[in-house]
Chains A and B, each alone.
Chain A
């Protein structure tokens, strides 16, 4: 599926704790030599995961993003700061809701981002964070 949907991440916090996340961003899949599907998330600093089939890819991407969110909170400078570090720009921000986009002034960059599939995810993080 090719789409021109703009990459966007919406972070929702309750009492400063991560609660949920809406993500639209491109993912790049590649078939590895061991017949696994290797997925790269270029807008998450090239984070790479792998899966055994297409259904599994959806799970892999979802889990990878969740891992990134939780690790950002635990071992990094918080999710929003970590995203800003790798090129995301905060376009609107409040205590509860932060929206981040990618600077779309570079047309070549935009063109590259349309390569491959785009994933749209809605993640609930609250329960995972408690156990994590």
Chain B
């Protein structure tokens, strides 16, 4: 049942997610290598725990990965708003 629902989870474009993260106050900096961009969270934890990666692949980022990153950077509201505006998708909601 869950698998059949998973197909309906929306994907966010890498560009949109990029701008959401850049607007976050928890962002300390970024590192770009080739097709990968690393976003570093502020804080005193080990750097590997503060590093989150996005890549130029097909331009889309999976639902789980995007959610994980947005929780860390405190931009879930922006993410859900984006899904609502651009993917006509709302968590637990219905559109008329």
Seen from chain A, the residues whose Cβ lies within 8 Å of a Cβ on chain B are 32-34, 36, 38, 44-52, 56, 59-60, 63-64, 66-68, 70-72, 74-77, 82, 85-86, 128, 132
Whole-angstrom CA separation of A70 from B9 in the bound complex: 34
Q: Knowing that A34-B62, A64-B36, A75-B28 are A-B contacts, what are 20 other residue pairs whose CB atoms are under 8 Å apart, sorted by A's residue number?
A: A33-B7, A33-B62, A34-B60, A44-B48, A48-B53, A52-B58, A59-B35, A63-B33, A63-B34, A63-B35, A66-B34, A67-B31, A68-B38, A70-B31, A76-B47, A82-B46, A85-B48, A86-B46, A128-B33, A132-B32
Set of chain A residues within 8 Å of B64, measured between Cβ atoms: 32-33
- 1/0 per position for B1-36, CB-CB distance to A under 8 A? 000001101010000000000000000110111111
Set of chain B residues within 8 Å of A56, measured between Cβ atoms: 57
Q: Is there contact, CB below 8 Å, between A67 and B55?
A: no
Seen from chain B, the residues whose Cβ lies within 8 Å of a Cβ on chain A are 6-7, 9, 11, 28-29, 31-38, 40, 46-53, 55, 57-58, 60, 62-65, 68
Q: Is there contact, CB below 8 Å, between B34 and A86?
A: no
Known: A33-B62, A34-B62, A38-B62. A132 touches B33 (CB 8 A): yes
Q: Is there contact, CB below 8 Å, between B33 and A50?
A: no
Q: Is there contact, CB below 8 Å, between B58 and A74?
A: no
- Looking at chain B's contact residues, the main secondary structure is mixed
Q: Is there contact, CB below 8 Å, between A60 and B55?
A: yes
Q: Is there contact, CB below 8 Å, between A72 and B33?
A: no
Whole-angstrom CA separation of A53 from B65 in the bound complex: 17
Known: A34-B62, A74-B31, A75-B29. A51 touches B38 (CB 8 A): no
Set of chain B residues within 8 Å of A36, measured between Cβ atoms: 57, 62
